[in-house]
Amino acid sequence: MKKIIVFTILAATATLLAQHPASPAHAGETDTVHSITLPEIPPTLKDGPGKDKVITLCAICHTPDYIPMQPRLPAKTWDAEVHKMIKAFGAPINEEDAKVIINYLTTEYGTGK
Task: Catalog residues that contact other proteins under the rule CB under 8 A.
Answer: 1, 3-8, 10, 20, 26, 28-41, 43, 60-63, 65-66, 69-73, 77, 81, 88-92
Q: How far is the CB of 9 from other proteins (least distance, A)?
A: 8
Measured CA to CA, the distance from residue 36 to residue 60 in angstroms comes to 22
Please tell me whether residue 63 adopts helix, strand or coil conformation: coil
Q: How far is the CB of 40 from other proteins (least distance, A)?
A: 8
Q: Answer yes or no: are the C-beta atoms of 17 and 31 closer than 8 Å.
A: yes
For residues 111 and 79, the answer to whether their CB atoms sit within 8 Å is: no
What secondary structure letter does DSSP report for 11? P
- Would you say 43 and 59 are in contact if contact means Cβ atoms under 8 Å apart? yes
* Nearer CB in complex with other proteins: 47/89: 89
Task: State in angstroms the smallest separation of the CB of 7 from other proteins.
Answer: 5
Of 39 and 49, the one with the shorter C-beta distance to other proteins is: 39
Q: Which is nearer to other proteins, 54 or 91 (CB)?
A: 91
